[in-house]
Amino acid sequence: MARIVVGVDASPGALRALTWAADEARLRLATLEVVHAYHAQALAAPLYFPSQTALPGRDAAAGPRPTEDELARTAELQAEFQQAVRGQADELLEHLLGEAGEAIEGIDVRPTVVEDRNPAEALVELSHDADLVVVGARGRGGFTSLLLGSVSHAVVHHARCPVVVIPAGVGERKPAAPR
């Protein structure tokens, strides 16, 4: 059976990409894999225990070491953070699938959360045994003047199957800066 992979995030174009992919899945009688990938390590603050005695010109290693309790609490906080991020990813997929409503009725839909992977890498990997990958033109990145976001750009260049890029809607497009 054919398989279409659609990458989604919290951007305004995600629902448009999902509904387009659902229409295509219906036409092809394909399974629709709705993928949200995130890299929790990139979201979390690194473990950092500053030395109280480290000053310019002094050996930082001479400072006090974190206690076992501090290390354990930090590990616990990181686990809680990762669990919260995973919960948000699950909620995002549930919300998008709910918004898609009738568009996904009658289609075999498989929501997939890919943890601790760059979204572009995850989608490229999933493209190896997909018939089609669908992405929005722009995600949530900060360079709004670009025509393609970094994820869609990487998927277009490295996917192992055809890729469809759904352009931004009229309301999402930013006017070009005057020259």
Which range (31-40, 56-65, 99-108) has the least confidence?
Answer: 56-65
- 70 CB contacts (<8 Å, ≥6 apart)? 49
Asked whether the predicted pLDDT for residue 109 surpasses 80, the reply is yes
pLDDT value for 63 = 58
Asked whether the predicted pLDDT for residue 59 surpasses 50, the reply is yes
Higher model confidence: residue 175 or residue 162? 162
Helix, strand, coil distribution of the chain in percent, nearest 5: 45, 15, 40
User: What is the CATH architecture assignment of 1-37+84-166?
Assistant: 3-Layer(aba) Sandwich (3.40)
CA pseudo-torsion sign 18, 21, 27, 29? negative
Higher model confidence: residue 174 or residue 29? 29
Higher model confidence: residue 144 or residue 130? 130
pLDDT value for 51 = 53
Angle value at C-alpha 118, between 89 and 99, nearest 5 degrees: 30
pLDDT value for 35 = 98
What is the amino acid identity at position 42? A
Prediction pTM value: 0.78
Domains of the chain, by residue range, sit at 1-37+84-166
